[in-house]
Amino acid sequence: MKNIQCSLYLGLLLVASSCKMADLSEHSNLPIPESERIAMTKLQEVIEAQGFEVLQQKNLYQFKATDHWPGWIGGLAKIWPDKTTNFLFRHNFNTFDGSALFLDGKKEGDLIGLQSWVYYEKVKDSPNIQNADTGDKFNKLEFGLVVFHYFLELPYRLYHAPIKRYYGQRKWKGQTYDLIFATWSSETANSNFDQYVLWINTDTHLVDYCIYTLRDNNSALTRHKYGSIAYQDYRAIEGFQVPFKMPILLDDGVVKKKSLDKYFHQFTIKEFTFGGFEEEELYPLPGIPKKIDSK
């Protein structure tokens, strides 16, 4: 009986710990106004070093990319129909409006898009755009459209977040980093908004790593988990620094593991250009007001 009670108790502890929400906030000895001021200064340095004024001027950009989800875990967790997928993404800067054309795999030739948070699809060889919005129901394809759009513009987006904190400096692999925390609503975890911690290289003033939560993951068993992304192989495209290689690991793996070769999945840009299409192509659904970067 004691063994059964012990097992039940341990089981309850496991469930309770699993239900905890991931919280990336830290205690800081800095007064909030000073912490916020330093954070804004560091983010502004990134915006200037990476060349976000170019994105502000160009607005439209497109890139070919590959997303690879290796192993059996990748097969279970992937957000696309295939474990390796090639796309053509098209985005409008500082909005959530964009599209992705599948270049191979099960959905080759199909187009998916997001316009003012309304999801749509266009099947290969069909002339018609279909409003396929799922409302509040989680849609993996819609999530994929948003996340890579957001991650490529992350320093600029987080500069405009209402809550920003400076979490001091850390060293990793011989390099010093400034850590900047950003979120919305409350510094501690809340169920509506994600938290981000940027690792800014003090030499290049570019973001090398980001630790982030995923509030869309509302599973009681995995909501305590979070993710991390590394920004590698920066290349200057008309004055804007583009990270061409982005391995993603679970939890804070990008700043804990010595090698990033065994990634959860990896997003790799093949080609990146500004323009090359008309803005109207990203707004095929009539009568929907533009939300710009509003959620």
How do the domains of the chain map onto residue ranges? Answer: 42-282
Query: What mean pLDDT comes out for the span 190-205?
Result: 96
Return left, alpha or beta for 214; rule: phi > 0 is left, psi -120 to 50 is alpha, else beta. beta
- Identify the weakest region by mean pLDDT among 38-42, 55-59, 127-131, 246-250: 127-131
The reported pLDDT for the residue numbered 294 is: 77
> Strand (E) positions, 13-162?
60-68, 84-92, 98-102, 111-115, 118-122, 130-131
Which residues make Cβ contacts (< 8 Å) with residue 231, sequence separation at least 6?
206, 207, 208, 209, 210, 243, 246
The reported pLDDT for the residue numbered 10 is: 39
- What's the CATH code, domain 42-282? 2.50.20.10
Give 269's strand partners.
65
Element (H, E) at 172: strand 163-172
Return left, alpha or beta for 37; rule: phi > 0 is left, psi -120 to 50 is alpha, else beta. alpha
pLDDT-based confidence at residue 136 (cuts at 50, 70, 90): confident
Query: What mean pLDDT comes out for the span 254-268?
Result: 96
Query: What mean pLDDT comes out for the span 60-73?
Result: 97
Nearest to 240 by CA among 53, 82, 65, 84: 53
Cα 231 to Cα 239: distance, rounded to the nearest angstrom: 17
The reported pLDDT for the residue numbered 14 is: 40
